[in-house]
């Protein structure tokens, strides 16, 4: 299979130039001013940017929670990702209590294999780490699962203690892995939640009130300290507040291998949405919660400075009508999470580049290159170069789209950005040279995506 992308403006994390790109059997074989190949399918990218396919390192597809399961499975969620310009996702294979790491990996492979529309791989979620589990670590890393996420909140279901975090860090860093943390002080939050409910405060907005920024900042600081003792690289998922970011900044200023991501909703939405009438606020019950608007400036500053290296979605969709409603009379029972896998590139291009906050190269870095580098996918993913996979997005920086749940591909009955008009959209998407989106319409097949084993951590 030969695909030739002509006349595009190639934008990577560092480059910006006009050239043609030839992809043969999935891999970029040539980049030159002018390429002719009579056998290749030609895609004309004139007037548009050609960027590496997005890498979303934080999604929850077909993921069971306490009372329900996320509404997008590996087919619908990855199809929505494709339409939005994302060609690789990293989901989470979750260990069950008493279960092995291998079982977690096998279970999630079963959900994803032959169904996913874009390339995929997994972080593990570890909930226990005893001797038998420690012995599995080298095999996990050899299967390309080089990162683990652990939760510092949700006691009784997901939360691990500091000793488990430390043991897991030691084991994974020894074999070339890294650790991601969901940083919130779960025990303090649990007390605040119980107090709120006892006082009759059951509405969605109390989800935010009971998870103040300092509970995030404390956990980030603790996570950094444990990682420093373990000499292990650490990555903080969904960073949401200025106070938490300050901890990351301080650690990075000291030269520690500490990384963090934020998500579009923390940059573009704020806690005033919880004040909407009735149960509407439940649409924004995600964790950490939306913050006061002044946190947004701090996060953008952190992005420009490189302290926030990645923008992921934390796509964790629950339908409003029959899933969010589980918490109608008790905010603590509202499934935590929101949708976003389809809209990441347009949201960040519009607010970031058109908003004058970042340039084109930084945009690519945040949504593709950095997640690929930190999580061991680079240079196969995350850039446009000879030898890299032919995952390309023909991106029209000026095309205007309007976000609406009525027209979206995500399998969910609302969108947090409903009605927002954005400039910047993926027009065509190639997955290893194969067109899977043409003129913004999905034309691929479930199973187009392949499992991508990841490389051991190298200092990016
Ligand atoms: Zn998440």
Q: How far is the CA of 20 from the centre of ligand 1 (A)?
A: 38
Expressed in angstroms and rounded, the spacing between residue 359 Cα and the centre of ligand 1 is 27
How many helices and strands (H and E) does the chain possess? 13, 17
pLDDT, residue 371, reads: 98
Q: How far is the CA of 227 from the centre of ligand 1 (A)?
A: 20
Which DSSP category does 315 fall into? B
Query: Could you tell me the distance, in angstroms and rounded to a whole number, from the CA of residue 312 to the centre of ligand 1?
Result: 10
Which contiguous run of DSSP H or E holds residue 311? strand 310-311
CA of 286 to the centre of ligand 1 (A): 9
Report cis status (omega within 30 of 0) of the bond before 288.
yes
Q: How far apart are the C-alpha atoms of 283 and 205, rounded to whole Å?
A: 11
Q: Express each pLDDT in 242-283 by its tens digit.
A: 999 999 999 999 999 999 999 999 999 999 999 999 999 999
Return the C-alpha torsion angle 170, 172, 174, 175, nearest 10: 170
State the pTM of this model.
0.98
d(CA 221, CA 251): 9
- Ligand 1 geometric centre to CA of 380 (Å): 25
How far apart are the CA of 147 and the centre of ligand 1, in A? 14
d(CA 1, ligand 1 centre) in Å? 36
Tell the burial category of 199 from Cβ atoms under 10 Å away from its Cβ (0-12, 13-18, 19+): exposed
Q: How far is the CA of 57 from the centre of ligand 1 (A)?
A: 10
- 80 C-alpha to ligand 1 centroid (Å): 17
- Ligand 1 centroid – CA 288 distance (Å): 10
Question: What is the structure's pLDDT at 333?
Answer: 97
| Partners of 56 in the β-ladder | 89
Q: Which residues of 119-157 are buried (b: 16+ CB within 10 A; e: fewer)?
A: bbbbbbbbbbbeeebbebbeebbebbbbbbbbbbbbeee
Copy the structure tokens of residue 270.
Answer: 């704020």
* Sequence-distant (≥ 6) Cβ neighbours of residue 83 within 8 angstroms: 342, 409, 426, 429, 437, 440, 441, 442
Q: What is the DSSP string of 58-122?
A: -B-SS-B-SS-B-S--HHHHHHHHHHTTEEEEEEEEEPPTT--HHHHHHHHHHHHTTT-SSEEEE
Going by the DSSP 8-state scheme, the letter that residue 159 receives in this structure is B
| pLDDT the model gives residue 315 | 98
310-311 and 258-262 strand pairing? parallel
Q: How far is the CA of 315 from the centre of ligand 1 (A)?
A: 7
Neighbouring residues of 148: CB distance < 8 A, sequence distance ≥ 6:
123, 124, 125, 126, 168, 172, 177, 179, 180
Q: Give residue 437 CA to ligand 1 midpoint distance, Å.
A: 26
CA of 338 to the centre of ligand 1 (A): 9
Give the Å distance between the CA of 249 and the centre of ligand 1.
22
Cα 165 to averaged position of ligand 1 atoms, centre (Å)? 18
Tell me, in angstroms, the distance from the centre of ligand 1 to residue 149's CA.
9
Q: How confident is the model at residue 66, as a pLDDT?
A: 83
User: How many whole angstroms from 314 Cα to the centroid of ligand 1?
Assistant: 5
Which portions of the chain are predicted below pLDDT 70?
A: none
3-state secondary structure of 403: coil
Which pLDDT score is estimated for 452? 98
- Separation of CA 252 and ligand 1 centre (Å): 23
Tell me, in angstroms, the distance from the centre of ligand 1 to residue 54's CA.
18
pLDDT reported for residue 172: 97
Tokens of 218: 């404390």
Distance 303 CA to ligand 1 centre (A): 20
CA of 180 to the centre of ligand 1 (A): 11
Distance 59 CA to ligand 1 centre (A): 6
Separation between Cα atoms, residue 360 and residue 9, nearest integer Å: 11
Contacts of 130 (CB under 8 A, 6+ apart): none
At 460 the pLDDT is: 75
Q: How far is the CA of 184 from the centre of ligand 1 (A)?
A: 13
């Amino acid at each position: 299979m030969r695909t030739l992308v002509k006349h595009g403006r190639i934008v990577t994390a560092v480059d910006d130039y006009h050239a043609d790109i030839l992809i043969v059997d999935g891999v970029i074989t040539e980049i030159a001013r002018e390429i002719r190949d009579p056998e290749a399918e030609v895609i004309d990218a004139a007037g548009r940017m050609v960027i590496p396919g997005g890498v979303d390192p934080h999604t929850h597809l077909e993921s069971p929670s306490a009372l329900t399961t996320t509404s997008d499975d590996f087919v619908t969620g990855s199809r929505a990702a494709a339409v939005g310009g994302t060609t690789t996702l990293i989901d989470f294979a979750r260990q069950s209590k008493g279960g092995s790491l291998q079982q977690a990996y096998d279970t999630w492979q079963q959900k994803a294999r032959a169904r996913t529309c874009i390339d995929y791989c997994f972080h593990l979620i570890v909930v226990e780490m005893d001797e038998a589990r420690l012995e599995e670590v080298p095999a996990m890393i050899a299967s390309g699962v080089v990162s683990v996420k652990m939760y510092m909140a949700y006691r009784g279901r997901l939360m691990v203690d500091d000793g488990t975090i430390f043991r897991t860090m030691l084991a994974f860093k020894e074999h070339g892995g890294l650790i991601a943390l969901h940083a919130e002080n779960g025990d303090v939050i649990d007390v605040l939640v119980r107090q709120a409910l006892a006082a009759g405060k059951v509405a969605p907005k109390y989800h935010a009130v009971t998870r103040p920024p300092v509970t995030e900042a404390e956990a980030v600081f603790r996570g950094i300290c444990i990682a420093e003792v373990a000499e292990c690289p650490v990555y903080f998922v969904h960073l949401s507040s200025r106070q938490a970011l300050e901890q990351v900044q301080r650690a990075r200023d000291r030269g520690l291998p500490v990384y963090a991501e934020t998500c579009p909703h923390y940059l573009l939405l704020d806690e005033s949405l919880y004040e909407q009438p009735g149960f509407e606020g439940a649409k924004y019950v995600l964790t950490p919660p939306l913050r006061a608007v002044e946190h947004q400036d701090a996060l953008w500053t952190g992005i420009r400075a490189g302290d926030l290296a990645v923008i992921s979605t934390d796509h964790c969709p629950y339908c409003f009508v029959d899933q969010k409603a589980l918490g109608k009379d008790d905010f603590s029972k509202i499934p935590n999470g929101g949708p976003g896998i389809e809209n990441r590139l347009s949201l960040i291009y519009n607010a970031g580049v058109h908003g004058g906050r970042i340039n084109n190269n930084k945009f690519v870095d945040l949504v593709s290159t950095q997640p690929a580098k930190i999580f061991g996918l680079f240079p196969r993913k995350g850039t446009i170069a000879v030898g890299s996979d032919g995952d390309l997005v023909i991106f029209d920086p000026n095309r205007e789209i309007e976000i609406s749940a009525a027209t979206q591909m995500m399998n969910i009955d609302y969108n947090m950005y409903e009605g927002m008009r954005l400039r910047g959209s993926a027009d065509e998407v190639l997955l290893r040279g194969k067109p899977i989106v043409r003129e913004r319409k999905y034309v691929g097949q479930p199973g187009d995506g392949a499992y991508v084993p990841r490389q051991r951590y190298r200092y990016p």
